[in-house]
Amino acid sequence: MLGVTGYNYTDRAVADFAVNGAGGSDIVLSTPTSGGGKITCCVVMRRGTKTPFWIEVEYKMDALVSYSTREEIVPAGPHIKARVKVDGPIPPDPAYVEIHFYQDHIEAAISGEDGPSAPRLKLERRLPFIR
């Protein structure tokens, strides 16, 4: 059983996501010190799983709203399903599946009991939901 956590390097929040049907919650924009999401439970991975393998990520982007006027600039997106390849390596003590949302693609990784990795990109944001 692996915990699920998300990282968001896009320009708006992820309203919700799931990995192989296991809910991953919402993800605000990642910062230099925080991935933007929380850890939820759980994706099942069989012992001895070898890379590469594929997972299914379903997600929905949140609406982009003007901070000052609260006017919707871009509406919330539809739910999207994506097949994401997990290349590895798999640590000897797998504990988390990490989903990294970029502007143009999604990456996945497995991390060990020492915890999920730090954000891969060190992006600043002007406001909590605007990059």
Residue 88 lies in a domain: no
**101: in domain:** no
Asked, for residue 10, whether it belongs to a domain, the answer is yes
Interval 15-56: pLDDT, tens: 999 999 998 888 887 776 676 777 888 899 888 888 999 999
Residue 24 is encoded by which pair of tokens? 């991953």
76 within domain boundaries: no
Residue 67 is encoded by which pair of tokens?
A: 């901070």
Number of domains in the chain: 1
The answer to whether residue 128 is domain-embedded is no
Segments in the chain forming alpha helices (H): none
Examine residue 19 and state whether it is found in any structural domain, yes or no. no
Expressed as residue numbers, the domain containing 40 is: 1-14+30-57
Contact status, residue 4 vs residue 99, Cβ threshold 8 Å: yes
Residue 22 lies in a domain: no
Does residue 111 fall inside a structural domain? Answer: no
pTM for this entry: 0.86
